[in-house]
Amino acid sequence: MNAVHLDQPTVADHRRSTQAVDDQVTLRPATPDDDPRILAWNEADVHFLAEMDPERLAYLKERAAAVEIIETDHGPSGFVITFTAGSDYDSPNYRWFAAREPEFHYVDRIVVDPASRGRGVAGKVYAVLAARHPHVPLLAEVNYAPPNPASLAFHSRSGFVEVGRLGTQTNGVVLFRRPPQVSVQGLV
């Protein structure tokens, strides 16, 4: 995936989370110049994400609805990859949703740079996505093994409902659905 990838909170994370969340968040299409940064961000959180080398990134770009860079007041602060219904994407998580939902917007992964975590960035990204796609559910998956408790809690607080699980005790995900009518106000 995976949507919002936050490590276990640290003292520094707590300090950042108590700061005012005043960052403006915009999404812009990723360019080839962004590829090294995307790969580095993905690698930094690979324990919660599928591995991604340049060939896999090219594969994702060919099939995704969007591969975007998250821009904040501090510059590039992460990336998001999304898919819509009808993609020829090989992810078992995506295929699980595609077999059950006629229309949707699937958030394959949101990765926020560690320096920008705890500032509401991921919530603002979801708010942008929900505003772009108000009539379809947002879908995401989050690791339960290895555990990603911060992301699981974030999704639950943000109106996502668990609709399934895939995997094993050592490598598995919770599948989340957020109905289209859920207000984006709670995300930021």
Going along the chain from its start, the domains and CATH numbers come out as 11-187 (3.40.630.30)
Q: Provide the pLDDT confidence category of residue 146 given band limits of 50, 70 and 90.
A: confident
Kindly state the average pLDDT of the residues 101-117.
95
Kindly state the average pLDDT of the residues 62-85.
97
Supply the pTM of this predicted model: 0.84
Q: Where does the chain have alpha helices with state H?
A: 11-17, 35-44, 54-63, 92-98, 121-132, 149-157
Residue 185 has pLDDT above 70, yes or no: no
In this structure, which long-range contacts are made by residues 158-161, counting pairs with CB atoms below 8 Å and at least 24 apart in sequence?
158/123, 158/126, 158/186, 158/187, 159/183, 159/186, 159/187
Residue 74 has pLDDT above 80, yes or no: yes
| pLDDT per position as a tens digit, 113-133 | 999 988 999 999 999 999 999
Q: Provide the pLDDT confidence category of residue 72 given band limits of 50, 70 and 90.
A: very high
Kindly state the average pLDDT of the residues 45-71.
95
Residue 6: the pLDDT is 33
Residue 9 has pLDDT above 50, yes or no: no
Residue 23: the pLDDT is 76
